[in-house]
Amino acid sequence: MSTELAASPPHPAPEADIPSVQTPPAPDVRVHPVTGEPRRPWSIWASVSLAYLAVAVVTGGMLVAFWQSKTVQTFAQATWLNGVVETEPGSLVRIAMVTALFAVTLAVGAGAIIVGYYGWKGYGWARVAGFVALGVGLLTLIGNGWMIASLFPLALAVAALWLPVSRAYCDAWHARRHPVVVALPDQGPIHYGPLPRYLA
């Protein structure tokens, strides 16, 4: 009997339940850990900075033109429009020309602000709006050199929005604003009222 007990192989000890250690998922580097919003890449920072720089330049150019337009000696040199249109001092045409210059500055500045702000917020249509803003910016050709110079930072701002990293940023914001709704699987016909087994 003792020989059989000695010859029998020992029973393996039950394995202890070892808690499995799961590695937490790596954080998405494209999402800010605090706000949960997509991180803004460098191109978005550059785009909004250049767009607002264009606003500052075109506004400064308008103020320079206004300053030069207040005297008869420098009125014709203030803007391209002042030089090609012959007017008399104090005429309504001059007032209309100054008003048109202000309207151009307002339109160009508004376009640049829209491109910069909505690009910052990750709206994809801001990239297309950038081309519209550039088209409106061509109106600065009737102004002076400072106003025309605003087209350069505005063009760079639009170009930064079309970089791949900016497009990915806009796509991430689009996915956040318009999440995909997953349809539930078909559960079959739904029965209303008492179950058949309770009607017997």
Question: In the numeric block, which tokens belong to residue 48?
Answer: 């909004």
| Mean pLDDT calculated for residue range 20-43 | 69
Q: What is the pLDDT of residue 101?
A: 93
| pLDDT single digits (tens) 60-111 | 999 999 998 888 888 888 888 888 888 777 788 888 888 999 999 999 999 9
Q: What is the pLDDT of residue 140?
A: 94
Measured CA to CA, the distance from residue 92 to residue 32 in angstroms comes to 56
pTM for this predicted structure: 0.73
Backbone angles phi and psi of 58, in degrees to 5: -70, -35
Q: What is the pLDDT of residue 29?
A: 47
Amino acid at 33: P
Give the start-to-end residue ranges of the domains of the chain.
44-175
| pLDDT single digits (tens) 151-191 | 999 999 999 999 999 999 999 898 888 888 777 787 777 77
Q: 27 pLDDT exceeds 70? A: no
